[in-house]
Amino acid sequence: GLPPALAARGHRVMTISPRYDQYKDAWDTSVAVEIKVGDSIEIVRFFHCYKRGVDRVFVDHPMFLEKVWGKTASKIYGPKAGLDYLDNELRFSLLCQAALEAPRVLNLNSSNYFSGPYGEDVLFVANDWHTALIPCYLKSMYQSRGV
């Protein structure tokens, strides 16, 4: 409820989630970025839809889609309750880094009031454990470079 409430107050709002499904109303932005995760460089793409005044952005990478109930008969965070996937650290590092890039690289113009990239004047709300690296990356990888 917070994103639509902020949008109703006149703020430009974006939510970012892993693309766990095909989401029939989300379209491929054709924007891809390279992200260093562990010892490899991974490419993520961004999908987008606009609902209730909010830019809904989905980070697309095979590590997310392969962990869905309908495809693997398993859960998103682990194969069963109390057991995590071994790649959770990599997947959510990827999500956090993609979340930091999205406002800079996506040229969204779905609203009558806002268009273009969000830029660098952005407030991030990291609301769960899988987004906990956002403040760390923001400080170490962006602010340290003056971004």
Q: How confident is the model at residue 70 (pLDDT cuts 50, 70, 90)?
A: low
| Position 72 pLDDT exceeds 60 | no
pLDDT score at 125: 92
The strand pairing partners of 15, in sequence order, are: 56
Q: What is the domain count for the chain?
A: 1
Residue 78 lies in a domain: yes
Residue 14 lies in a domain: yes
Domain extent, residue 49, equals 2-142
| Position 73 pLDDT exceeds 90 | no
CB atoms under 10 Å from CB of 2, counted, come to 11
pLDDT score at 69: 56
59, containing H or E segment: strand 54-60
64, containing H or E segment: helix 62-65
Residue 147 lies in a domain: no
Return contacts of 26-29, CB within 8 angstroms, 24+ apart.
26/56, 26/58, 28/60, 29/106, 29/108
Residue 50 lies in a domain: yes
- Rounded Cα distance, 72 and 76, in Å: 10
Q: In CATH, what number is assigned to the domain containing residue 20? A: 3.40.50.2000
Residue 41 lies in a domain: yes
Residue 17 lies in a domain: yes
Mean pLDDT score, 104-124: 85
The encoded tokens of residue 78 equal: 């682990």
| pTM (2 d.p.) | 0.88
Residue 122 lies in a domain: yes
Residue 95 lies in a domain: yes
